[in-house]
Amino acid sequence: MSNTTNCETRLVLLGTGTPNADLDRWGPALAVVVDDQPYIVDFGSGVVRRAVEAGLDVKKLTRAFLTHLHSDHTVGFPDLILTPWVLGRSEPLEVWGPPGTRHLAEHILSAYKEDVRERTESLQPSNEEGWKTLANEITEPGIIFEDDNLEVEAFPVDHGSWKAYGYKFVTRDRSIVISADTAPTALMIEKAKGCDVLVHEVYSLKGFATRPPDWQRYHAAVHTSSNQLAEIARKSEPKLLVLYHQLFWGASEEDLLAEIRKGYGGKVVSGTDLGVY
């Protein structure tokens, strides 16, 4: 990452949803935007249309990072591959993610091969590069990407039996840590220590109490409750905590924020689709 020029970094939440269908919250996806260059993390449903709503240039959606392979985080992958190409992206999409990312990309392209053939061989104006996808699988934590705008560090999180990663973005003016879906880990506290923005998943304890026992066992094992997140934030002291991928289960946004504030006195907001931080 060069130190020769200034930059402005902003975090744009494209979608803050979960597998629960919520018309106000599309699939999980966000963008770290440095000047006017977006870097996408996860690609839930509606990712490209949300990017348009956020004012991002879809032709610049060329770099993306996947936290894990759950469907709610990946169903927008075909959209991210193909729609920006149809709209003029002229270079391949490059993606970093856990093992299985390459398999996913290859099979999406196989499923859409007739679409690509028709668009490239018919009268429709197109280019030969923008649909291509370069999938990089992360097998070890550390710095996985660097350019003149930023560096990206991947670190392991705890979300079931497969490999899943959180990401730390460091630019010349900000540091942004993105948790992915995860149970609490000591490493998260370490990576988020003193960062400008911590974007972290969370579930409401009030809502959790209404869930069936089998779902309670699952969520307690692989997700982070409001009181656990309050402890993480208290120990890591981010300048701003952004709640993300919120599981409410009938609780209100005010309920969730109140649960966090019982154990954490720092600045916290409940993220919304198209929120900019």
Q: Has residue 40 got a pLDDT over 90?
A: yes
Residue 154's pLDDT is 98
Question: What does the pLDDT look like over 47-68, one tens digit per residue?
Answer: 999 999 999 999 999 999 999 9
Residue 150 or residue 2, greater confidence? 150
Residue 83 or residue 1, greater confidence? 83
Mean pLDDT confidence for 235-246: 98
Question: What does the pLDDT look like over 161-203, one tens digit per residue?
Answer: 999 999 999 999 999 999 999 999 999 999 999 999 999 999 9
Residues 6+ apart with CB under 8 A from 274: 12, 13, 14, 50, 53, 54
Q: What is the rounded CA–CA span in Å between residue 164 and residue 18?
A: 17
Topology annotation, domain 9-270: Metallo-beta-lactamase; Chain A (3.60.15)
Residue 233's pLDDT is 98
What secondary structure, in 3-state letters, does 125-171 show?
Answer: CCCCCCCCEEEEECCCCEEEEECCCEEEEEEECECCCCCCEEEEEEE
Q: Has residue 243 got a pLDDT over 70?
A: yes
Q: Has residue 5 got a pLDDT over 60?
A: no
Q: What is the rounded CA–CA span in Å between residue 42 and residue 117?
A: 27
Residue 10's pLDDT is 97
In the structure, what pLDDT confidence band is assigned to residue 104 with cuts at 50, 70 and 90? very high
Mean pLDDT confidence for 227-253: 98
Q: Can you tell me which residue has the tokens 């880990």?
A: 185
Mean pLDDT of the chain: 96
Residue 3's pLDDT is 55
In the structure, what pLDDT confidence band is assigned to residue 7 with cuts at 50, 70 and 90? confident
Backbone phi and psi for residue 274, each to the nearest 5 degrees, phi listed first? 70, 10
